[in-house]
């Protein structure tokens, strides 16, 4: 191997192959290059078979890139190597051994929408009100329980003194029962069941410990508890584990990521070696210096600083807009200006903290005729017609999948109404059998007499398609499913603009299956369904398409663009208002800012607004503390270098703004000044409001001349009120 093109620290990381290794890889430091060369180096110097190497990353995009690059070095041998995401690796293990946990190897994987549907069924059976137990919140609690390896029984044991959590435990228990009856796993189950399988079956664990003599894990800072346990168990025998990551880019706490996994690696593996990759090949010196200045304000981190041999580069361009519309116009104008000077639209990415920020930016891009794509919006596989056909394919593959049965039984309409489905659900609950089994024998149930013929006909069709699957090519089989189920004929007969769009999307779906068939050695319906279940938002990003990219900062991690707009740099937006009560959360927001800054290669733009309308409410904005942390020498505002530290949001309003807006500003300023000098409110205070009655302050955010109060009123309503305007009285 020729390692001459690697820098000294990269060479060291490639050549240190025995024992535990922690590679702290800063943004743009060439970690994928290191991992790929490390794999080849292990094979060359240790004569290790690819079969004995496990390389894990977080996204399909990253896994595919690694596979391609490894393949260029070692050729066909790479097909014997496990290079995949955590979930894909775990699914592979479960396909072989999940029968030990009481599931069938043909299990299906439920996505977020499927999970919500099953949850709603649980609520109905348990007679629980979504208002008192919001589904999103309950799903999050159950997800955290699974990450901590708590079964429903163990969850009950932990929360027995808490009535509310006990009720959530009942949902958890019924939810898991329904999943198992459908022979289905959700995303958390994939990890949970794999760890459980390995813990409870020493012979299976030993098999994979022997198999994986060398283990590499990318993005280790993003691992949760289950992922940590999975890797730790596999690495325990040979201890040839190399984890690569950057604690400064740990931004997925909301998904369960635990930054302590990377910070405590040296404690778990006492003889580990730490190698720092600090040379950045991506960004200009100015961009890196700004990123370092921001992240050095965090205390819970390992010491390192990015540096580069790249040119110094342009200063960061700051635009302070009057409102979000002005901000969006500026962004559109800069992109159009760049395009006219010879740049591509794809050179520009617009990043924001929340998806809600994209609407105004999209509107201005459309008005300027700038082509764009929102990454992380409605995914192709989330469209109704695609979910419908996937529902058919899942039911054919696994007739016990009652969720898919419910989805497709009346797509297209078959005269099997809601009442019949409810009766079938009651029978299913009473006798613990799937909806498909009931449909197959519908004439045995007196209360299904009106729909029995239709149900039997439907089940016969599914069974016939199941037989056809064994003898047909996958693409031809899916075409047959579209026609035999009546789904495609119904769309053709509908003959509307919408139905034509759906037909086009189904054509694209067939293209996806055809592509899968060409690229897989042993294509199967099971393999295809598994693949699309594990597709993430970022997998839809096509670097070859000449469009401007819009995405959240979380979605942008791992990507890079010549020009980046970091929009909405205001307190309460970024950092988010939810993070302000905790130093730990603020540090995560700062890491998110560091990630955003380091996506830019050549030019970074930072934009913010003096006022912004969020969820229908317009309010004055203060500049983000993270903007304050960037030294003035790296910033230029609309072409003018800063003369002092203050970025004043109360500077003169541009002349282009109408007198009406000026008057509105005066009114807001007057209202804000009307507040008493001492805002004497605290969390927990009981207050009274003329319209909403009495309530309790549950959260409070102080500003220079005002305070944002969250008040839960005794009526059950929760309101967010500005103290200056609310006229609250303490009780």
For this structure, is 475 an active site residue? no
For this structure, is 599 an active site residue? yes
Q: How far apart are CA 229 and CA 146, in angstroms?
A: 12
The residue count of the chain comes to: 731
DSSP labels, 260-285: HHHHTHHHHSTT-EEEEE-B-SSS-H
For this structure, is 249 an active site residue? yes
Token pair, residue 573, equals 């937006």
**What is the spatial order of strands in the sheet that 693-702 belongs to?**
718-722, 707-713, 693-702, 686-689, 729-730
Name residue 620's beta-bridge partners: 611
Estimate the crossing angle of helix 152-159 against helix 163-181, to 10 degrees: 180
Alpha-carbon distance values, 553 to 375, 406, 549 (Å): 11, 37, 12
Which burial class, exposed, middle or buried, applies to 147 when counting CB atoms under 10 A from its CB (0-12, 13-18, 19+)?
Answer: buried
Active-site residue among 189, 219, 388, 401?
Answer: 219
Cβ contacts of 323 within 8 Å, gap of 6 or more: 609, 610, 611, 612, 613
Long-range contacts of 75-81 (CB under 8 A, 24+ apart): 77/43, 77/50, 78/50, 79/50, 79/521, 80/49, 80/50, 80/51, 81/39, 81/50, 81/51, 81/53, 81/54, 81/55
Residue with tokens 């004043």: 648
Active-site residue among 276, 599, 612, 625?
Answer: 599
Estimate the crossing angle of helix 474-484 against helix 384-397, to 10 degrees: 110
Q: How far apart are CA 256 and CA 1, in angstroms?
A: 39
Alpha-carbon distance values, 710 to 15, 354, 688, 724 (Å): 55, 20, 13, 14
Q: What is the 3-state composition of the chain as percent helix, strand, coil, each rounded to the nearest 5? A: 55, 15, 30
For this structure, is 219 an active site residue? yes
Give me the phi and psi of 96, to 5 degrees please: -85, -25
Active-site residue among 10, 57, 194, 249?
Answer: 249
Which burial class, exposed, middle or buried, applies to 63 when counting CB atoms under 10 A from its CB (0-12, 13-18, 19+)?
Answer: buried
Q: For 183-250, give the secondary structure using H, E and C.
A: CEEEHHHHHHHHHHHHHHCHHHHHHHHHHCCEEEECCHHHCCHHHHHHHHHHHCCCCCEEEEECHHHC
Taken in order 363, 365, 371, 373, the sign of the CA dihedral is negative
For this structure, is 95 an active site residue? no
Q: How far apart are CA 694 and CA 730, in angstroms?
A: 9
For this structure, is 32 an active site residue? yes
Q: How far is CA 98 from the centre of its chain?
A: 26
Active-site residue among 11, 12, 18, 32?
Answer: 32
- Under a CB-based contact definition with an 8 Å cutoff, are residues 409 and 416 in contact? yes
Closest CA to 152 of 138, 136, 171, 132: 171
Total H helices, total E strands in the chain? 30, 23
Active-site residue among 31, 38, 557, 610?
Answer: 31
Q: How far apart are CA 506 and CA 711, in angstroms?
A: 48
Taken in order 361, 638, 616, 665, the sign of the CA dihedral is negative
Active-site residue among 218, 289, 570, 589?
Answer: 218
Alpha-carbon distance values, 574 to 579, 586, 592, 610 (Å): 9, 10, 9, 14
Residues taking part in catalysis: 31-32, 218-219, 249, 599
């Amino acid at each position: 191997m020729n390692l001459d093109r690697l820098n000294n620290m990269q060479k060291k990381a490639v050549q240190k192959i025995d024992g535990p290794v922690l590679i702290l890889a800063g943004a743009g430091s060439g970690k994928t290059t290191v991992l790929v060369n490390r794999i080849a180096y292990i094979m060359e110097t240790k004569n290790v078979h690819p079969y004995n190497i496990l390389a894990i990353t977080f996204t399909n995009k990253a896994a595919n890139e690694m596979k391609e690059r490894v393949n260029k070095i070692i050729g066909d041998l790479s097909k014997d190597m496990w290079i995949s995401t955590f979930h894909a690796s775990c699914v592979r293990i479960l396909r072989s051994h999940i029968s030990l946990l009481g599931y069938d190897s043909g299990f299906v994987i439920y996505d977020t929408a499927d999970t919500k549907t099953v949850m709603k069924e649980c609520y109905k059976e348990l007679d629980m009100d979504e208002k008192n137990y919001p589904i999103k919140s309950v799903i999050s609690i159950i997800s955290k329980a699974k990450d901590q390896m708590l079964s429903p029984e163990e969850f009950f044991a932990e929360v027995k003194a808490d009535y509310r959590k006990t009720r959530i435990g009942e949902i958890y228990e019924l939810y898991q029962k329904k999943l198992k009856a459908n022979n289905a796993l959700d995303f958390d189950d994939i990890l949970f069941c794999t760890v459980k399988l390995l813990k409870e079956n020493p012979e299976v664990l030993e098999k994979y410990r022997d198999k994986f003599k060398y283990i590499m894990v990318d993005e280790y800072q993003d691992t949760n508890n289950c992922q940590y346990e999975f890797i730790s168990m596999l690495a325990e025998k040979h201890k040839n584990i190399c984890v690569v990551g950057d604690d400064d880019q740990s931004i997925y706490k909301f998904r369960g990521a635990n930054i302590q996994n990377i910070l405590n690696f040296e404690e778990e593996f006492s003889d580990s070696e730490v190698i720092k990759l600090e040379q950045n090949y991506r960004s200009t010196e100015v961009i890196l210096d700004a990123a370092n200045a921001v992240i050095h304000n965090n205390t819970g981190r390992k010491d390192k600083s990015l540096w580069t041999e790249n040119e110094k580069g342009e200063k960061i361009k700051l635009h302070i807009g009057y409102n979000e519309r002005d901000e969006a116009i500026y962004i559109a104008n800069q992109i159009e200006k760049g395009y006219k000077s010879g740049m591509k639209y794809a050179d520009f990415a617009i990043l924001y903290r929340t998806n809600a920020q994209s609407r105004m930016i999209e509107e201005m891009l459309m008005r300027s005729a700038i082509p764009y794509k929102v990454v992380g919006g409605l995914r192709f596989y989330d469209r109704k017609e695609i979910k419908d056909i996937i529902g058919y394919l899942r039911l054919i593959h696994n007739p016990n999948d009652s969720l898919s049965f419910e989805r497709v039984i009346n797509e297209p309409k078959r005269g099997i109404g809601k009442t019949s489905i409810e009766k079938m659900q009651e029978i299913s609950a009473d006798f613990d059998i799937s909806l498909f089994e009931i449909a197959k024998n519908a004439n045995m149930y007196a209360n299904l007499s009106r729909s029995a013929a239709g149900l039997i006909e439907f089940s016969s069709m599914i069974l016939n398609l199941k037989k056809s699957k064994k003898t047909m090519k996958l693409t031809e089989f899916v075409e047959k499913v579209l026609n035999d189920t009546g789904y495609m004929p119904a769309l053709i007969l509908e003959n509307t603009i919408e139905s034509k769009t759906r037909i086009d999307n189904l054509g694209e779906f067939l293209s996806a299956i055809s592509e899968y068939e060409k690229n897989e050695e042993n294509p199967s319906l099971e393999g295809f369904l598994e693949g699309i279940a594990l597709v993430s938002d970022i997998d839809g990003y096509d670097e070859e398409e000449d469009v401007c990219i819009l995405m959240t900062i979380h979605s942008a991690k791992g990507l890079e663009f010549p020009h980046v707009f970091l929009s909405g740099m205001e307190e309460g937006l970024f950092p988010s208002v939810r993070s302000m009560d905790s130093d730990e959360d603020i540090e995560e927001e700062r890491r998110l800012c560091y990630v955003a800054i380091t996506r830019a290669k050549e030019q970074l733009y930072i934009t913010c607004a003096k006022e912004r309308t969020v969820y229908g409410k317009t309010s004055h904005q203060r500049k983000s503390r993270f903007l304050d942390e960037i030294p003035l020498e790296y910033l230029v505002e609309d072409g003018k270098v800063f003369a002092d530290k203050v970025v004043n949001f109360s500077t003169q309003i541009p002349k282009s703004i109408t007198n009406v807006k000026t008057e509105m500003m005066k009114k807001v300023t007057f209202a804000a000044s009307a507040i008493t000098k001492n805002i004497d409110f605290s969390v927990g205070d009981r207050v009274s409001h003329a319209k909403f009655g009495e309530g309790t302050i549950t959260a409070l955010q102080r500003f220079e001349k005002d305070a944002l109060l969250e008040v839960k009123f005794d009526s059950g309503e929760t309101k967010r009120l500005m103290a200056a305007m609310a006229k609250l009285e303490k009780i």
